Each structure stands twice: as structure tokens, then as C-alpha cells.
């Protein structure tokens, strides 16, 4: 008798909440959360989400770690420096950035996060990371101290800076373009 009462209560709850169990349509999702954002797999480990100006030119690009790729799951949040250098230098070659600005290489640490800004005449780079600590063989130290900068063929001053080694997100903003309003 007791099991029958429990079963009836479960069925009653399922009948009342059954509407919430069905999938939502694309228009319902967009109504609630807005239009989807385009993201591109620009390398094996990096996604890019661009924003565009009214004339169609890219005005901002955000890069973040791609956690799933061709059946592989990547747990790291750090952007692989060599891949990031290649993508950034293809998108904004050194010779097209203009002169260095006043905020070149400035780092801001605000609690659990930090940003380093590399300001040029035409573009500004924002490298962001969390200020968590990782244990090492010599004891706890910041995660940036456990890596070495790769000074390969695409090296430039940005990627020679130790403050970008732990970048979890990178944003490039074109200074002469205004992003379109959504």
C-alpha cells in the first residue's frame, strides 16, 4: 500500500511538471538568452569569438581555450602560447599594429584575476588570467613561474613578457572601430 502511494505521488509530480521536461525551441532559447554568438576553432586548442562593426570589419576578437576537439577533452584553461602567437600574428601582424601606446605592458591584479594590457596605435591586447597558485617541486608559486616563454620565429615583445604565459582569455580590440550594437 505504501509503495502504491509513493508511486501515485511521483506520477502526479511528473504530470504537473511534465511541460518543463520537454525541449525548448530555438526561438524560445533566443527569446530568453539572445541570439547565438559565432565562435571559430582557430587552432586545435583555441576558440575565437569575434564582434563586428557596422561595416563588417572585425572590431573585437576574444580567444579562449577549446576544451573539446575531435573526441579529445582538454582540461587546461591556459591558452597554448605557440598556438596563440600564430593566431594573433596572422590576425594582426606586428607591422600593422602601429606605435606602442602609453599602456604597453601594464598589469592590473584585482583579487582572483589579472590583466596585462598591450596598447598599440591601432589595436589593444588584453591578456587575462586567474591568480591561482599551483604547487611545484619547490613549493607553491604562481603558475606563471613554472613556464618558459617560447621565443620562436613569430616572437614579438608581447609574447616575450612573462605576464602572458598563463593567459586564459585574450581579447584584441581594434582602436579605430566601433562594434555594432546588437
Residue 180 and residue 86: Cα distance in Å, rounded?
27
Residues near 103 by beta carbon (within 8 Å), at least 6 away in sequence? 117, 118, 119, 124
The predicted pLDDT at position 36 comes to: 84
Cross-strand pairs, 134: 141
Q: Which of 16-20, 80-84, 128-132, 153-157 has the highest mean pLDDT?
A: 80-84
pTM score, two decimals? 0.70
8-29, pLDDT tens digit by residue? 667 666 656 555 556 788 888 8
Residue 59 and residue 46: Cα distance in Å, rounded?
19
Residue 143 and residue 160: Cα distance in Å, rounded?
16
133-182, pLDDT tens digit by residue? 555 544 434 444 334 444 443 347 788 777 777 888 899 999 999 998 86
Amino acid at each position: 500500500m505504501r509503495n502504491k502511494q509513493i508511486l501515485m505521488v511521483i506520477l502526479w509530480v511528473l504530470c504537473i511538471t511534465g511541460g518543463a521536461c520537454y525541449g525548448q525551441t530555438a526561438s524560445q532559447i533566443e527569446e530568453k538568452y539572445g541570439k547565438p554568438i559565432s565562435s571559430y576553432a582557430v587552432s586545435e586548442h583555441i576558440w575565437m569569438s569575434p564582434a563586428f562593426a557596422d561595416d563588417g570589419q572585425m572590431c573585437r576578437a576574444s580567444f579562449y581555450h577549446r576544451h573539446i576537439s575531435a573526441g579529445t577533452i582538454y582540461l587546461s584553461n591556459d591558452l597554448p602560447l605557440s598556438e596563440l602567437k600564430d593566431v594573433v600574428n596572422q590576425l594582426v601582424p606586428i607591422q600593422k599594429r602601429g606605435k606602442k601606446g602609453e599602456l604597453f605592458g601594464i598589469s592590473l591584479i584585482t583579487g582572483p584575476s589579472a590583466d596585462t594590457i598591450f596598447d598599440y596605435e591601432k589595436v589593444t591586447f588584453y591578456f587575462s588570467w586567474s591568480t591561482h597558485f599551483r604547487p611545484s617541486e619547490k613549493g607553491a608559486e604562481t603558475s606563471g613561474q613554472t613556464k618558459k616563454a617560447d621565443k620562436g620565429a613569430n616572437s614579438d615583445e608581447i609574447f616575450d613578457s612573462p605576464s602572458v604565459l598563463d593567459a586564459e582569455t585574450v581579447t584584441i580590440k581594434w582602436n579605430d572601430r566601433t562594434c555594432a550594437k546588437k
